Structure 1
Amino acid sequence: MTIKKRLFLSNLFMLLIPALVSVLILALSMLLFVNLFYKQAMDETVRGENTVYLEHLLVKQAEEFLQTDHKALTDSHLYQTVEKYVQTQSIQLQIYDGDALVCSMGDRHEDLAEMPLYMLSNGNVYVEPITIDDHNYTIYIAFFAPVQESTWNEMIVKYLIAVLIILIVIAVLVTNRFLTKFVFRKIEKPLDILISGVHEIQDGNLAYRIRYSNKDEFLPVCQDFNQMAERLQQSIAQTEREERNRKELIAGISHDLRTPLTSIKAYIEGLIEGVAQTPERQQKYMQTIREKANDIDRMVDKLFLFSKLDLGDNPFYPEPIPVAEALHSLVAANAEEYARQGMTVVLDDIPTDCVVCADPVQFRNAILNLLENSLKYKDDPEVQVRIGCTETSSDATISVTDNGPGVPEEALSKLFDVFYRSDPSRSNPQKGSGLGLAITAKILERFGGSVRAENVQPKGLRIQLTIPKEEAKP
C-alpha cells in the first residue's frame, strides 16, 4: 500500500472512527436517558394519581376534624394522625377560617395563602373551600416533589455526560495512536534504510546497494539511490583509471622521448668533438639524427592525436563507408611497402554491400594502426595478416588476424590502455610509441563502436573492430 493511500485512509479513519464512537455513545446515552425519563414520567403519573387520591382523603379528614371542636383541633387523635402522615409525605396542609390560619401541618413554613395558586417553589397547591357551621373554611394542600430524587437524576445526567466526553476523548487518542503507527511505521523503516545507505556511501562503501521490495513511493527512491551509487562508483573508478593513465602517459612520454633525445645528443657531441672525421661518417651521423628527430615527431603527432581524441576535440565527419571498397583501397596502397618490410595482407571475403557510418580518415587510421602493430611485433622474418568482415542488421565487425607471437592472456584486457607497462614498446622504443592501439580504441569509441582482442591458435592475435551502420547519437 502506498504512503499516499495510507495517509488518505488515516485522515478518513481519523474522522470516521471518533464520529462512529460518538454516535454509538450518544445512542447509548439517549437510551439511558429515555429509560430514566420514562421511569421519572411513570413516577410522576403514579404520584399524580396518588395526589388526587390524597387530596380527596385529606379534604374529607379535614372536614371530619373541623366538625369537632375546632378550637381543640390539635388535641384530637385524628389531627395528630393526619399530621404525622403529612410530615412523612412532603405535604403541606393549611386551613384558613377567612383570613385566619386555623392549623398548619407539615415541615414547611410557607404561607400557602400568599403563594400563587398554580406552582410553588417546587410543588403544586390544591385549594378546596368548605362551609361548616356558618364558617367559611379554605383548605390548602401543597404537594412537594422529593428533592433527593431530582438531585439524583441530575447527578446521573452529569455523570453520563462526563462519561460521554471521556469516551470520545479516549476514542480520538486511541485512533490517533493507531493511525500514527499505521502510517509512520511504513515511513520510518524506509527512511532508516535510506539513511543507512547514505552512511555507507559516505564511509566509502560504494559497492553498497539498498534492498527494498515494497511497492510504494520509496521503491523508486531506493532504485534511484542504487543507480546513483553505481554511477558514483563508476565515476570514481573512471577518475582513478584516468589518473593512472595520466601518470602512465607522463612516464611513457618521458621514457620514449629520453631515448631518441639521448641518441641525438650523443651524435651531435660526436660531430662537435670530431669523432666522425670522414664525410661518410659525418653523413651517417646526420642521417641518424634526422631519423631520431622523425621518431620524436611521429611520437608527438600520435600523442597529440590521442589527446584530441580523448578530449573529443578531434574533427569527426561521419559518412557512409563501403567496407569492401575501403579495405581494398587501403591494402592496395600499402601492399608494396608492407611486403618490403616482411608482411603480407590477405583480404578474406568481404561483403560487398556492407556499409558502415564512420569518419573515413579515422577509419583508415584505425586499420593502419592494427596493421602496423602486427608488423612491429612480428617474431619471424615474415608475418601474414588476414582481414575479414561479418555483419548484422545494426553493425559490422572487421577482424584483423596475424600469426605473430600474440600477447599474454592477462594483458588482453589492458592491451588498449595508453602506455600499458607490459607493452613491449616500453623495452624497445624502435618498435613504436605504444599509442597505436590506444588511438584505435579512442577512434572506435567516437564511432560508437567497440574493440576487443583475443589470441588465436596455434599462435597469433586477432583484433575485432565493431562499427555501427548508422551514425551514433552523441
Structure 2
Amino acid sequence: MMLVLLGISTGGLALVVVILAIKLAQRSQQMNYIHLKLEHLLDQGTYERLLVFSNDAPIQQLLRDINQVLDYAHRTGARYANQEKEMRNMLSNISHDLKTPLTVVLGYSETLLHSPALTEQERESMIGKIHDKAQEVLRLIHSFFDLAKLESGDMELSMTRVNLSELCRLKMISFYEMLTGLGLEVKLDIPEGDIFVQANEEALDRVLNNLITNAMKYGSDGKMLGLSLHHTNSNGVLLEIWDQGKGIPESEHSRVFERMYTLEDSRNRQYQGSGLGLTITKRLVERMGGSIELRSVPNQRTVFSISLKPC
C-alpha cells in the first residue's frame, strides 16, 4: 500500500534496482579498468593518456584529473632527463676545460724542474705561461661558482637606479683599444639624454662585458661591432649589442644560453670559451627583472637584445 501511495509500483522499484545495479557494475568495471591501465602506464613509463568512454560525470572528472597528473609527471620526467643529460655534458666539459690548462701547467713545471740548461729568458717565458694558465683555471672556477650561486638563488643583487647610457659609454671606451686592434669598426647609437634603469650596476657591467667579449670572439670576421640603447614603445629600455660575423644558425638559437654551450660548431672554431658566459648573462638579466633574446642572420647581423625596466 505504501509503495502505491508513493507512486512507485513493485515492478517499477525492481526496475530501478536493476538499473542501479547495472550502473554500479559498469562503474566498477570502469574503475577496475582505470586502475589496471594506470598501473600499466606507470610501469611502462609511456606518454599515453587514459581514455574511457563514459557518460558518468564523476568518472569523467576523475579521468581529467588523472590525465592532468600524468601530463605533469611526463613533463617533469622529461625535464629531469634533459637536466641529467645536460649535467653529464657539463661535467664532461668542465673536466675538459680544467684538464687542458692544467696539463699545460704540469708540462711547463716538469720542464722547469728537470731542465737546468734552460736560459733565463726561457724560464721567464714558461713561468709567464704557467701564470696565464693558472689564471684561466681560476676564472673557470669562479664562473662555475657564480653560476651555481645564481641558479640556487644564493647571489643577492641589490637593485638601484643605474645610468645605463653612461655605463655603456664607459664600457665601450674600455674596450675601444682592443676593438680597433682587431680591426673592428665601432658603431654606437646612444641618445644624448641619459637613460636610467632599475638594475644592479655590477651585474649590468658584467652582462655588457660578456656580450661585447662574445661579439669580439665570434663576430670579428664581420669587422663591425655595434651597441644601441633606446626606449621602447612599451615604456621599456632596449639594449642591443650586435656584430656582422658568421652568425648563429637558427637551429642553434635555443641552445646558446645552455650551460657549457661554446658555439664552436656554429661560429668561429678559433675560440674555445668556457660556455658559461651567455648562461651567466641570461641568469643575471632575469634576476634584474629583464629578458634577453637572440636574432641572427649569418654574415648580416647577429644581435643580443636585452629588455630592462626604466627607472
- Corresponding position: 1:246 with 2:246: no
- Corresponding position: 1:366 with 2:200: no
SS at match of 2:293: strand
* Structure 1 residue 396, shift from structure 2 partner: 4.1
Residue 416 of structure 1 corresponds to 257
CA-to-aligned-CA distance 1:78-124 (integer Å, 9 cap, x gap) = xxxxxxxxxxxxxxxxxxxxxxxxxxxxxxxxxxxxxxxxxxxxxxx
Residue 346 of structure 1 corresponds to 187
What one-letter code is carried by the residue in structure 1 that aligns with 2:106? Answer: K
Out of 75, 89, 94, the residue aligned to residue 234 of structure 1 is 75
Q: Distance in 1 between matches of 2:68 and 2:113?
A: 65
**Preserved CA contact (<8 Å) 2:191 2:230:** yes
The structure having more radius of gyration, on CA atoms, is 1
Unaligned runs of 5+ in 1: 1-17, 26-166
Identity between Structure 1 and Structure 2 (%): 25
- Corresponding position: 1:265 with 2:106: yes
Residue 118 of structure 2 corresponds to 277
CA-to-aligned-CA distance 1:348-380 (integer Å, 9 cap, x gap) = 255968654433322222222111111122453
Q: Distance in 2 between matches of 1:382 and 1:427?
A: 14
Cα 1:376–1:197 shift into 2, 3 Å: same
Q: Distance in 2 between matches of 1:345 and 1:213?
A: 68
Q: Distance in 1 between matches of 2:113 and 2:200?
A: 48
SS at match of 1:434: coil
- After TM superposition, the structure 1 = structure 2 runs for residues 272-421 of structure 1, keeping only pairs within 5 Å, are 272-274=113-115, 277-349=118-190, 356-380=197-221, 382-389=223-230, 391-393=232-234, 395-420=236-261
Q: Distance in 2 between matches of 1:192 and 1:19?
A: 41
Q: Distance in 2 between matches of 1:335 and 1:462?
A: 19
- After TM superposition, the structure 1 = structure 2 runs for residues 44-443 of structure 1, keeping only pairs within 5 Å, are 168=10, 170-179=11-20, 181=22, 196=37, 199-206=40-47, 208=49, 216-217=57-58, 221-274=62-115, 277-349=118-190, 356-380=197-221, 382-389=223-230, 391-393=232-234, 395-420=236-261, 423=264, 431-443=272-284
Residue 4 of structure 2 corresponds to 21
What one-letter code is carried by the residue in structure 2 that aligns with 1:399? Answer: E
**Preserved CA contact (<8 Å) 1:343 1:385:** no
* Structure 1 residue 331, shift from structure 2 partner: 2.7
Cα 1:232–1:320 shift into 2, 3 Å: farther
Residue 453 of structure 1 corresponds to 294
SS at match of 1:380: helix
What one-letter code is carried by the residue in structure 1 that aligns with 2:226? Answer: V
Output the aligned Cα RMSD.
3.9
- Corresponding position: 1:444 with 2:285: yes
Q: Distance in 2 between matches of 1:392 and 1:459?
A: 25
User: Which TM-score applies when normalising by structure 1?
Assistant: 0.55
**Preserved CA contact (<8 Å) 1:201 1:229:** no
CA-to-aligned-CA distance 1:190-242 (integer Å, 9 cap, x gap) = 88568645643553123537699979555655444343333322222221222
* Structure 1 residue 428, shift from structure 2 partner: 6.4
- Relative to structure 2, which stretch is displaced further, 437-446 or 210-219? 210-219
Unaligned runs of 5+ in 2: none
* Structure 1 residue 463, shift from structure 2 partner: 1.9
Cα 1:275–1:434 shift into 2, 3 Å: farther
Cα 1:246–1:213 shift into 2, 3 Å: same
SS at match of 1:373: helix
Q: Distance in 2 between matches of 1:186 and 1:325?
A: 71
SS at match of 2:225: strand
Q: Distance in 1 between matches of 2:158 and 2:66?
A: 38
Cα 1:319–1:270 shift into 2, 3 Å: same
Q: Distance in 1 between matches of 2:64 and 2:235?
A: 31
User: Which TM-score applies when normalising by structure 2?
Assistant: 0.79
What one-letter code is carried by the residue in structure 1 that aligns with 2:180? Answer: A
Cα 1:192–1:394 shift into 2, 3 Å: farther
Q: Distance in 2 between matches of 1:22 and 1:403?
A: 93
CA-to-aligned-CA distance 1:359-417 (integer Å, 9 cap, x gap) = 33222222221111111224539442333445353754433211122123332221111
SS at match of 1:208: coil
SS at match of 1:412: helix
Cα 1:222–1:468 shift into 2, 3 Å: farther
Q: Distance in 1 between matches of 2:100 and 2:108?
A: 13
**Preserved CA contact (<8 Å) 1:351 1:389:** no
Q: Distance in 2 between matches of 1:185 and 1:468?
A: 59
What one-letter code is carried by the residue in structure 2 that aligns with 1:229? Answer: L
Q: Distance in 1 between matches of 2:257 and 2:82?
A: 13
**Preserved CA contact (<8 Å) 2:293 2:304:** yes
What one-letter code is carried by the residue in structure 1 that aligns with 2:207? Answer: A
- Relative to structure 2, which stretch is displaced further, 322-331 or 351-360? 351-360
* Structure 1 residue 467, shift from structure 2 partner: 3.8
SS at match of 2:148: helix
**Preserved CA contact (<8 Å) 1:455 1:461:** yes
State the aligned residue count: 311
Higher relative contact order (CA 8 A, sep 6+): 2
